[in-house]
Structure 1
Amino acid sequence: MTVTKQMSWRPQYRSSKFRNVYGKVASREHCFDGIPITKNVHDNHFCAVNTRFLAIVTESAGGGSFLVIPLERTGRIEPNYPKVCGHQGNVLDIKWNPFIENVIASCSEDASVRIWEIPEGGLKKNMTEAVLELYGHSRRVGLVEWHPTTNNILFSAGYDYKVLIWNLDIGEPVKMIDCHTDVILCMSFNTDGSLLATTCKDKKLRVVEPRSGRVLQEASCKNHRVNRVVFLGSTKRLLTTGVSRWNTRQIALWDQEDLSMPLIEEEIDGLSGLLFPFYDADTHMLYLAGKGDGNIRYYEIGSEKPYVSYLMEFRSPAPQKGLGVMPKHGLDVSACEVFRFYKLVTLKGLIEPISMIVPRRSETYQEDIYPMTPGTEPALTPDEWLSGMNRDPILMSLKEGSKKTSKLVFKTPAREKKSVVVNGIDLLENVPPRTENEVGQHSPRPGVELGVGRREWSLATAQEATAL
């Protein structure tokens, strides 16, 4: 029987090296100020960060845009700062390539996914030409996710209830996952990227084998709503956040091989904002941040009951619209920093870095809190992954001097529109013109030629390819 109880607010004083972790906000001169953060109510973070750049979706007229700011360029940002502004509809999600640090993916209400290559040192003028423009969804695209171990494999989820898998080496979709009956709310990969977990407005949690599109496990959450899901490292467990039948925010822990019943359910509070979960597989710490809240709660995940142990809470009076997360290899290990958020404060137009720190007196490298972690080199090529291979991430040490820089070259397709054959089907042959219903409210402007790498892809041929 499922156990449901109110989460205790008192720290459980147990033997844990992370019992005293605390959050430290950067000084004002190390924040990013004067940014017109988007007022879009879509439930995303609108922020992405890596070791070189911070990207933020901004409020703009006449189409969607986002800022890309070098991390060292802190302080007040001028109103005329250059933007990435090629989309013709509001930008809904942005994600940095985990292996090529100047490449970012964006998706928009204009039903497109675009890949951008940011120049060294950041933007000097507005960027309107994407490296790739990917069209395959018939309605707006709400989510994009990079594969965790394979270079140039990108997943996109649209309001047409489809998940498309793109091979960016050829600039084409290679698979369509068509098992959802409503809008997809969240996507999360396991450690080696062999499984994809999704939450959906149809109140179902699914675990999918992405290359075949087969649903391995499905949970029908009729008495509560699941909003976000995250794989808990290599533990073969999932954690979801959502709303209970009594309209309280809650989390639930699931066995990925049996979704018939959650292992535990914990009520958090009675607030209404969406709960964003963040999991650090290296420290086994879970962070919960509510949209519109000012606090961030953190817990430790164990292998035995009670599984989820409350540690502490970071509090702030400023409500957060979204949070970006720095990759582990970008943390300050000399300060015992184990996690770093970039908090969007809409009313102030402010981005605040928040460091989660383990208090240690020693200034030497703390190997017990910094195990080997996934690095910046891909473990597989797109062809290897698509052929059925799985491989764990290539690990790296966070010791000073051991950081690696990716030497990969991002491949771009030829300028001409070439045929792409998948299992004998030419996906670009006899493509009918897209109607307004297929592309939503933001069709490409008439008289404008397709940009470099832009691809048209019909839903009819997508369904044929899916059957393969």
Structure 2
Amino acid sequence: MSWHPQYRSSKFRHVYGKAASKEKCYDCVPITRSVHDNQFCAVNPHFIAVVTECAGGGAFLVIPIHQTGKLDPHYPKICGHKGNVLDIKWNPFNDFVIASCSEDATVKVWDIPKHLLTRNITTAKKELLGHVRRVGLIEWHPTANNILFSSGYDYKIMVWNLDSNEPVISKPVKILDAHKDVVLSMSFNTDGSLLATACKDRKIRLIDPRSGEVLQEASYKSHRVNKVLFLGNVKKLFSTGTSRWNNRQIALWDQNDLSVPLLEEDLDGSSGLLFPFYDSDTCMLYVVGKGDGNIRYYEISSEKPYLNYLMEYRSHLPQKGIGVMPKRGLEVSACEIFRFYKLIPTKSLIEPISMIVPRRSESYQEDIYPLTTGAQPALTAQEWLNGVNKGPLLVSLRPDSRKQLKVEKKLPKKENMCLSNGFDVFECPPPKTENELLQMFYRQQEEIRRLRELVNQRDVQIKQLELKLRNLCMNTGSY
């Protein structure tokens, strides 16, 4: 009886990383020289924000996502902090609002204008005062609107309600005082009812973010944790850190039992931090090395062996930080399932890297694009503070999903469905806010760009076919 090797069947088995061409990179970007262990980059479908150098304080740049190529050396900055900016995060429900935290012990929330920046922005929309030492981390709540968490070197995590009309908020709605050392990482589960933290005391804690109660605590001698990440849909936690022999190490934990990790694995002997990113739509986990050019990726399963290695993207250019595009900003026509923005300070360059599923068909691939988290909150800030939990509101990434939905509902005749201003509801629902109107404009611009690229491709194909036909006719003598 002969033995045959068993191969896992997976649609993501051949996913590969593709770096953007030079003209689609962001060049001459003065990337921060800070040695703080953060990503230094935040991305949404409209903008890329990156921490930069600034004389006399901290600053970051906000560049329109399509403004690639060389950056003007006098490009305006967001520069209201008095100390180095340590972390930046876009509001998940408003693409024109970003939060930043700094060594000056403040957290600031900024309104980004919908037109191109023409001058430095120095006045924040809101200033959050409460920490007594520098603030190293910020995280938005994943489903509740205007709830922001900040973690400082005073060992406290503060919860802020930004629905307040005050420009300066000096008192958070809650202080989580469960740590005796600096918090290195924060991560929410899918509905934001649980908060996982990694602390400098080498412990992972599972906390109720409203009461501050520590529900579980893990301290494992052979794994010094640096970053922790919720793998929401499989009820697990993933951490990166170092082993007792100072090798870079990853570990997987059962969310309901943090006493012993489900698995530990040493990766290499490099000293740079490992940043984990998880895509719950595809159950794919990406591990990005700081100080090297590698991105390892795995597929997560709910049963053993849990962590299935797929491949590794390699580059000779090391990354100092990394940004990630939300799912709604990806190119579904190119079967792109994840996109990184890699900070390369040695070249003052930001390089997009797309993770692509190789498919021959140009049609929408429904199996790799399930319903995903949208840009609308599921809860108000007060609802969440009152104890309500809700999962994220999901949307389809199918380009024509709205049009198909209208057909399925069998709406009345078109002539009866025009608004007083002549807007045709069969084409697209009318925007309710200026933000929605601008988003609609950006989508239309992107669609025009895609159509132009498609027309150019077709022109090239036609010319190639004409040339082949001409050669064929000349060879047969019938030209």
Matched, 1:307 2:306: yes
Q: What amino acid does structure 2 have at the position aligned with 1:365?
A: Y
| Counterpart selection for 2:20 from 20, 26, 35 | 26
Q: For each residue in 1:172-229, what CA deviation from the matched residue of structure 2 results, as whole angstroms up to 9, or x when unmatched?
A: 5100000000000000000000000000001100000000000000001333310001
Structure 2 gap ranges (5+): 1-5, 403-428, 436-479
1:347 Cα deviation from its structure 2 partner: 0.6
Q: Does the residue aligned with 2:58 lie in a helix, a strand or coil?
A: coil
Question: Which has the higher mean CA deviation after the structures are superposed, 46-55 or 267-276?
Answer: 267-276
Alignment of 1:32-431 (within 5 A): 32-170=26-164, 171=169, 172-402=171-401
Q: Does the residue aligned with 2:234 lie in a helix, a strand or coil?
A: coil
Distance of 2:240 and 2:324 partners within structure 1? 18
Q: For each residue in 1:44-83, what CA deviation from the matched residue of structure 2 results, as whole angstroms up to 9, or x when unmatched?
A: 0100000000000001210000000001111000111000
| Counterpart selection for 1:14 from 8, 12, 17 | 8
Q: Is the CA contact 1:345–1:351 (under 8 Å) kept in the aligned structure 2?
A: yes
Q: Is the CA contact 2:223–2:249 (under 8 Å) kept in the aligned structure 1?
A: no
Map of 2:464 onto structure 1: none
Structure 1 gap ranges (5+): 1-11, 411-468
1:408 Cα deviation from its structure 2 partner: 6.7
1:266 Cα deviation from its structure 2 partner: 1.1
Alignment of 1:421-460 (within 5 A): none
Q: What amino acid does structure 1 have at the position aligned with 2:348?
A: G
Q: What amino acid does structure 2 have at the position aligned with 1:344?
A: L
Q: Is the CA contact 1:100–1:406 (under 8 Å) kept in the aligned structure 2?
A: no
**In 2 relative to 1, CA 159–28 (structure 1 residues): closer, same or farther, beyond 3 Å?**
same
The CA RMSD measured in Å over matched residues stands at 1.5
1:402 Cα deviation from its structure 2 partner: 4.3
Q: What amino acid does structure 2 have at the position aligned with 1:61?
A: A
Q: Does the residue aligned with 2:346 lie in a helix, a strand or coil?
A: coil
Q: Does the residue aligned with 2:119 lie in a helix, a strand or coil?
A: coil
Q: Does the residue aligned with 2:207 lie in a helix, a strand or coil?
A: strand
Q: Does the residue aligned with 1:173 lie in a helix, a strand or coil?
A: coil
Identity of aligned residues (%): 69
> Taking structure 1 as the reference length, what is the TM-score of the superposition?
0.83
Q: For each residue in 1:339-374, what CA deviation from the matched residue of structure 2 results, as whole angstroms up to 9, or x when unmatched?
A: 000000011000000000000001111111000001
1:275 Cα deviation from its structure 2 partner: 0.5
Larger RCO: 1 or 2 (CA < 8 Å, sep 6+): 1
Question: Which has the higher mean CA deviation after the structures are superposed, 229-238 or 153-162?
Answer: 229-238
Distance of 1:122 and 1:297 partners within structure 2? 36
Q: Does the residue aligned with 1:334 lie in a helix, a strand or coil?
A: helix
Question: Which has the higher mean CA deviation after the structures are superposed, 223-232 or 41-50?
Answer: 223-232
Q: What amino acid does structure 1 have at the position aligned with 2:373?
A: P
1:272 Cα deviation from its structure 2 partner: 1.0
Runs of 4+ in 1 over 2 A off after TM superposition: 221-224, 401-410
- If each structure's helix is expressed as a fraction of its own residues, which one has the higher value? 2
Q: What amino acid does structure 2 have at the position aligned with 1:368?
A: D
Q: Is the CA contact 1:89–1:110 (under 8 Å) kept in the aligned structure 2?
A: yes
Q: Is the CA contact 1:343–1:351 (under 8 Å) kept in the aligned structure 2?
A: yes
**In 2 relative to 1, CA 139–405 (structure 1 residues): closer, same or farther, beyond 3 Å?**
farther
Q: For each residue in 1:279-324, what CA deviation from the matched residue of structure 2 results, as whole angstroms up to 9, or x when unmatched?
A: 0000000101110011111010011111101101111110000110
Distance of 1:308 and 1:253 partners within structure 2? 8
Q: Is the CA contact 1:224–1:244 (under 8 Å) kept in the aligned structure 2?
A: yes
Q: What amino acid does structure 1 have at the position aligned with 2:382?
A: D
Q: Is the CA contact 1:99–1:406 (under 8 Å) kept in the aligned structure 2?
A: no
1:233 Cα deviation from its structure 2 partner: 2.1
Q: For each residue in 1:395-449, what CA deviation from the matched residue of structure 2 results, as whole angstroms up to 9, or x when unmatched?
A: 0000004489995799xxxxxxxxxxxxxxxxxxxxxxxxxxxxxxxxxxxxxxx
Q: Is the CA contact 2:80–2:121 (under 8 Å) kept in the aligned structure 1?
A: yes
Q: For each residue in 1:107-138, what CA deviation from the matched residue of structure 2 results, as whole angstroms up to 9, or x when unmatched?
A: 00000000000001231110000000110000
Question: Which has the higher mean CA deviation after the structures are superposed, 220-229 or 342-351?
Answer: 220-229
Q: Does the residue aligned with 1:38 lie in a helix, a strand or coil?
A: coil
